Amino acid sequence: MLRAKPLWIANGVITGVLALLFTVFYVGANIDPVDHTEKLPVGLVNADEGAAVDGKQVNLGAQITESIEKSTESGGKIDWKVMDEKGVKEEFGEGKLYGALVIPADFTSSTTSLTGTATTGAPARPTLTVLTNQSAGSVGSSLARAATTQAAENASLQLGKQLTAQNGAEQAKLPAAARILLADPAAVTVKDGHPLDSHSGLGLTAFYYALVLVVCGMLSANVISGQVDHALGYTHNDMGPLRLHRPLIRATRVQTLAISSTLMVGLSLLMGTLVMVGAVGIMGMDAAHLPLLWLFSVCAIAVSGIGALTLLAVFGTPGMLVVTLVFIGMAVPTAGATTPLEALPGFYRFLAEFEPLRQITGGIRSILYYDAQGDAGLTRGWAMMAVGLAAAALFGFGVLGWYDRKGLHRVPAETKPEETAVAV
């Protein structure tokens, strides 16, 4: 057998293609997120109330906001969304922003007071606040933090040049510390704009929880498919040294998929319960809305499992490779949990529109981090699961029904009528 070239060629092609595809999907998606970033949503808040300077009303916050909006430094990588503090809080709470830059209400008054600082006492430095949002994804939050920090620092330097030019001869009268401060007047502080509980995995528990649900559905589909075939007598079942056979029960392909799918729905109740017990009860994961989390978990496992069963039934033995690529290979890089969709190449953004893990992660993230708000991903999660279930049913039963009508019946590997157990 080992001298048979077809054996080497067939297995070499399959395993080689699988290795290449997984490399492309995993490494290719994350090899340069900064370069691929496009229109990452970041808030820009000007709460500055302005101040009267030499009889004129001045608002330095408005100047900074306008400068950042018109700046081409980011090259289209950042989508600056001008809004108020309430809007930022709402969009942080829905996972729609990866970060924000906030100009405080006293920014102008604090900045202009630097020029009149007395020789005694340290000058008070105005601040620009960078808000991060780890719940929206660690990489996205880091990209937003870097962009907002750079924008704030550039704005401070630009403002320093303006203040230095305006003061002219008066600058020499200022204390040395004040003169240095005028060149770079604003301090940049970083805060968490949407704090998470300590047992939230720095914003990653939603992704890993969703991944567990998808893997449970995928792997249980493989188990159920094999056990149903064994129960119908179409395949044998090896249990260590024992090979078990059952009498043949002829069933159409459509009937077989219906039996498997019913089993999947029933067992999803068990698996969804145990996943939640393990994550929340045993491991102590922070979670709210437990009844909703349980229901979403059960449905996610059932839909993922039925989708995998459909692919196994339609494609046969190669179906497991298709299932692995669809539910793991293409799904993990496009879930938007670690690397944001805005930082992925275009092909991966296209996959993310329908890949199941992305939809399930969005729903779980909404339940765990965003008070189960529909706009935070829960509505999309439910809708896409319904679409996925309908697509699996139409594709699976449609194709298998065609197989049955064409007389493409299954041929059992073993045809012994009685159940036996033979020691190997």
pLDDT per residue as tens digits for the range 88-101: 999 999 999 999 99
pLDDT class for 413, splitting at 50, 70, 90? very low
pLDDT at residue 119 in the model: 40
When comparing pLDDT for 251 and 183, which is higher? Answer: 251
DSSP 3-state of 53: strand
Higher pLDDT pick, 115 / 48: 48
Lowest mean pLDDT among 61-70, 117-126, 139-148, 241-250: 117-126
How many C-beta atoms surround the C-beta of residue 355 within 10 A?
Answer: 23
State the pLDDT confidence band at 268, using cuts at 50, 70 and 90: very high
- For residue 380, the one-letter residue type is R
pLDDT tens track for 272-284 = 999 999 999 999 9
Q: Binning pLDDT at 50, 70 and 90, where does residue 80 land?
A: very high
The pLDDT score that the predictor gives to residue 424 is 38
Give the pLDDT of residue 401: 94
Mean pLDDT score of the chain: 86
pLDDT of residue 222: 93
Question: What pLDDT is stored for residue 414 in this prediction?
Answer: 47
Enclosing H/E stretch for 100 = strand 99-103
Q: Give the residue from 312, 309, 391 showing the smallest Cα distance to 354.
A: 391
Query: What is the pLDDT confidence band of residue 173, given thresholds at 50, 70 and 90?
Result: low
- pLDDT at residue number 171: 58
pLDDT at 114: 73
**Residue 343 CA: distances (Å) to CA of 115, 142, 338, 347:** 42, 12, 10, 12
In this predicted structure, the answer to whether residue 117 has a pLDDT above a threshold of 50 is no
Comparison of pLDDT for 392 and 409, the residue scoring more = 392
User: How confident is the model over 179-189, as pLDDT tens digits?
Assistant: 666 778 888 99
Say what the pLDDT of residue 305 is: 96
Quick one: average pLDDT of 106-126?
69
- Spatial separation of the C-alpha atoms in residues 156 and 3, rounded to whole Å: 72
Using alpha carbons, select from 210, 253, 199 the residue that is nearest to residue 228: 253
pLDDT digits (tens, 9 = 90+) for 385-403: 999 999 999 999 999 999 9
H or E, element range at 20: helix 5-30
What is the model's pLDDT at position 423? 42
More confident residue, 235 or 292: 292
User: Among 44-58, 145-159, 251-265, 315-329, which stretch is predicted with the lowest mean pLDDT?
Assistant: 44-58
pLDDT digits (tens, 9 = 90+) for 14-53: 889 888 988 888 888 788 888 888 889 999 999 988 888 7
Which span out of 67-76, 133-142, 155-164, 386-395 was modeled with the highest average pLDDT? 386-395
pLDDT digits (tens, 9 = 90+) for 309-363: 999 999 998 899 999 999 998 999 899 888 888 888 888 899 999 999 999 999 9
Nearest residue to 123 via CA among 177, 184, 165, 51: 177
Per-residue pLDDT at 276: 95
Q: What is the mean pLDDT of residues 62-81?
A: 85
Helix (H, G, I), strand (E, B) or coil at 112: helix
Region 107-117: what's the mean pLDDT?
76
Q: What angle do CA 203, 129, 69 make, to 5 degrees?
A: 100
Q: For the chain, what percent of residues have pLDDT higher than 90?
A: 47
Per residue in 358-383, pLDDT tens?
A: 999 999 999 999 999 999 999 999 99
419: confidence class by pLDDT, cuts 50, 70, 90: very low
Q: What is the CA radius of gyration of the chain?
A: 30
Judged against a pLDDT cut of 50, whether residue 217 lies above it is answered with yes
